[in-house]
């Protein structure tokens, strides 16, 4: 067994590998760029080595710098994590030449299966059913259009060395192919150092199901069940679960055995994932093989009880797999939510900045469920513009799918993040969505269910009563604290009215506050409904946790002028608690109307200007590209919302802009 390993990665996956290495008694070395000097993985590791500037192409993607870091520290092996160099054939070859072990598959297997084009050729040679497409190199947008015309629309343009949704575009026309080719090749070059792309038919209404494999250097390969990753946005997975609600045992066995046969054909000897496009009728087609540990590996670990990082380290050290296929049993259900630094109310655009508050839910067992949070950030840390926007992976495990979803929903409500925008409200809405709960999934789920984008819903019915009761409880606590202020002129004469009106934005909820048992309250509504509310919450805490009507509840609390912003259970509202007379007066107050944004194109997120497509005096049509802004390795095309004339171009290529910075002005 190794005594010291280096992790050639950053963020949560580097922290994840360090945890297992520490448990095995193995010392760890972290590498870091200029942007990651104060990162969590650097703090957690036993040693750290600086490897270059913030841009990944000048640091995390430079093989020579990783090899030199190993030489400096005496690291005997390297775990690549996922992304960056994890699927580059040249990386294990360079490590081997330096006498360093690669904790991953052999270079021959990476060449055969890690490259998306070569893996399809290998699968076709093995008579594995594959999605129709063109497996050759495409060197121009014109050639891409010709191929797409022959295959038939829609098509998928994909980076050969890609993964994680980078370098991937769906095109429904020749124009979209040409533009998608340019974006995909550019993203592929910046993310993977390889701009090759291929084109394949895009299967409509598909599901994404993948098989987890683990092999050793003695010819043994087993499959560890499947994961369903159909809930995706922009080809990036958002929710994952294991097992899949689609598969039956026969289909699971068929997919698993086919995956193992394919892996053995190329001598695969580490953790890997075979991905399939599955039809609603349980038909499936080989899509690609990821020759690395997947982002979503925790759900497999939760249902199998296995540590995949430990198995990778052990087989890299030459040990045989400690399990056979007969030993693999799936226990319960696991659900994973990817918590991203992005604004779901603004088209999921990236959000960067300081994590003023970062309070994940408590990990461990709670009742029948278990909560796990894999992360690489900390309170006070920065979310950088240079890397993937993932903050954490929140995982829940329970005996049944319904219980795992319920536990996930509760955990999301208790996850407090401030300082940046994040997608927790969107994830909470997904957990409450009937179609998700029914398991009626497809990769088009988000586009179909949220065609107009996402906005937090106002509470209605029972949810409105619950949120109003929590608001009344918070207001009551604040009033009680006011009674205790010293030096009051007549403290015994201070009394607070019990009849209240809770304004949930524009919705008025009258209620009466009564003293409850144990210091709580009872909210009595005009309908006769009475809800007991109890909590140990204190002002300043970002999450209110307590019982409402006997049900345990977590609600996010954000102070606003004369009230609080409350969110939880997929609903949100600004709550202000008034006396009846105050409510009457508040209704007479004039509302401030926000002014228009002006005749300007604003940068929708912090980012780097990749290109400006127009010039001053130019006429543009609605839908025409104006600029391309890159943030967190994704290129975003900004288009004209209506016909206009460009009056002035303010920004230039290479500028780093803040959110809402002016890019250009219209006449």
Per the annotation, the verdict on 96 as an active-site residue is no
Helix (H, G, I), strand (E, B) or coil at 397: strand
Q: Identify the CA nearest to 188 among candidates 292, 115, 263.
A: 115
SS (H, E, C) 518-558: HHCEEEEECCCCEEEEEECCCCCCCEEEEEECCEEEEEEEE
Residue 497: DSSP 8-state = -
Tokens representing residue 208 in the block: 């994404």
C-alpha to C-alpha distance for 657 and 636, rounded to whole angstroms:
14
Helix (H, G, I), strand (E, B) or coil at 492: helix
Contact 519, 477 (CB under 8 A): no
SS (H, E, C) 190-223: HHHCCCCEEEEECCCCCEEEEEEEEECCCCCEEE
Among candidate residues 76, 118, 228, 288, the one labeled active-site is 288
Residue 58: DSSP 8-state = G
C-alpha to C-alpha distance for 449 and 429, rounded to whole angstroms:
11
C-alpha to C-alpha distance for 104 and 394, rounded to whole angstroms:
25
C-alpha to C-alpha distance for 560 and 374, rounded to whole angstroms:
31
**Parallel, antiparallel, or unpaired: how do β-strands 221-233 and 207-215 relate?**
antiparallel
**Parallel, antiparallel, or unpaired: how do β-strands 619-620 and 4-7 relate?**
unpaired
Q: Burial letters for 30-41: b for 16+ Cβ neighbours within 10 Å, e otherwise?
A: bbbbebbeebbb
DSSP 422-455: -SHHHHHHHHH-HHHHHT---TTHHHHH-TT---
Helix (H, G, I), strand (E, B) or coil at 579: strand
What are the C-alpha distances in Å from 6 to residues 95, 103, 125, 297? Answer: 12, 10, 37, 20
**Parallel, antiparallel, or unpaired: how do β-strands 221-233 and 166-171 relate?**
unpaired
Q: Which residues are catalytic?
A: 288
């Amino acid at each position: 067994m190794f005594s010291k390993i280096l992790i050639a990665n950053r963020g949560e996956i580097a922290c994840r590998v360090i945890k297992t290495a520490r448990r095995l008694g193995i010392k760890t070395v972290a590498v870091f760029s200029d942007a990651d000097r104060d990162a969590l993985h650097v703090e957690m590791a036993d040693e750290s080595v600086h490897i270059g500037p913030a841009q990944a192409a000048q640091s995390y993607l430079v093989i020579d710098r990783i090899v030199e870091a190993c030489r400096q520290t005496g690291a005997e092996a390297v775990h690549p994590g996922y992304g960056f160099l994890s699927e580059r054939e040249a990386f294990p070859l360079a490590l081997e030449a330096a006498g360093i072990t690669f904790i991953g598959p052999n270079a021959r297997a990476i060449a055969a299966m890690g490259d998306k084009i070569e893996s399809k050729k290998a699968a076709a040679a093995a008579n594995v059913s594959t999605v129709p497409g063109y497996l050759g190199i495409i060197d121009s947008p014109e050639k891409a259009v010709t191929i797409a015309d022959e295959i038939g629309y829609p098509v998928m343009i994909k980076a050969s060395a890609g993964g994680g949704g980078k370098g991937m575009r769906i095109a429904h026309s020749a124009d979209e192919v040409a533009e998608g080719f340019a974006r995909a090749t550019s993203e592929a070059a910046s993310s993977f150092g390889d701009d090759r792309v291929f084109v394949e038919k895009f299967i409509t209404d598909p599901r994404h199901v993948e098989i987890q494999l683990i092999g050793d250097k003695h010819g043994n390969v087993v499959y560890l069940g499947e994961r369903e990753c159909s809930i995706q946005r922009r080809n990036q997975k958002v929710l994952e679960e294991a097992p899949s609600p689609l598969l039956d045992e026969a289909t699971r066995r068929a997919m698993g055995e086919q995956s193992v046969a394919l892996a053995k054909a190329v001598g695969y000897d580490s953790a890997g994932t075979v991905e399939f496009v599955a039809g609603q009728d349980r038909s499936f087609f080989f899509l690609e093989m990821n020759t690395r540990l997947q982002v979503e590996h925790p759900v497999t670990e939760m249902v199998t009880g296995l540590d995949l990082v430990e198995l990778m380290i052990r087989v890299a050290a030459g040990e045989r797999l400690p399990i056979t296929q007969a030993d693999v049993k799936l226990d319960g259900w696991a659900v994973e939510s990817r918590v991203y630094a992005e604004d779901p109310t603004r088209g999921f655009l990236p959000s960067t900045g300081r994590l003023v508050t970062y309070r994940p839910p408590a990990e461990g067992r709670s009742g029948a469920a278990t909560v796990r949070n894999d992360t690489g950030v900390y309170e006070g840390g920065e979310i950088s513009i240079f890397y993937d926007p993932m903050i954490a992976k929140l995982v829940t495990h329970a005996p049944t799918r319904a219980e795992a979803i319920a536990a996930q929903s509760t955990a999301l409500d208790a996850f407090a993040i401030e300082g940046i925008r994040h997608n927790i409200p969107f994830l909470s809405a997904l957990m409450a969505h009937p179609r998700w709960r029914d398991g009626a999934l497809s990769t088009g789920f988000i586009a179909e269910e949220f065609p107009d984008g996402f906005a937090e819903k106002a509470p209605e019915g029972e949810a409105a009563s619950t949120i109003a009761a929590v608001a009344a409880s918070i207001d009551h606590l604040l009033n009680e604290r006011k009674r205790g202020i010293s030096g009051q002129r007549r403290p015994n004469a201070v009394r607070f009215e019990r009849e209240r009106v809770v304004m949930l934005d524009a919705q008025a909820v009258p209620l009466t506050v009564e003293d409850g048992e144990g210091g709580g309250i009872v909210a009595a509504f005009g309908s006769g409904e009475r809800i007991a509310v109890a909590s140990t919450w204190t002002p300043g805490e970002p999450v209110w946790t307590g019982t409402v009507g006997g049900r345990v509840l977590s609600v996010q609390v954000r102070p606003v002028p004369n009230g609080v912003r409350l969110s939880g259970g997929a609903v949100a509202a600004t709550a202000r608690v008034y006396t009846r007379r105050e409510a009457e007066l508040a209704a007479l107050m004039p509302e401030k109307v926000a002014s228009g944004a002006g005749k300007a194109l604003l940068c929708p997120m912090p980012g780097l200007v990749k290109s400006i497509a127009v010039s001053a005096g130019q006429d543009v049509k609605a839908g025409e590209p104006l600029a391309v802004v890159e943030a967190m390795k994704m290129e975003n095309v900004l288009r004209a919302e209506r016909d206009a004339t460009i009056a002035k171009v303010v920004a230039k290529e290479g500028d780093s802009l803040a959110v809402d910075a002016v890019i250009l002005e219209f006449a």
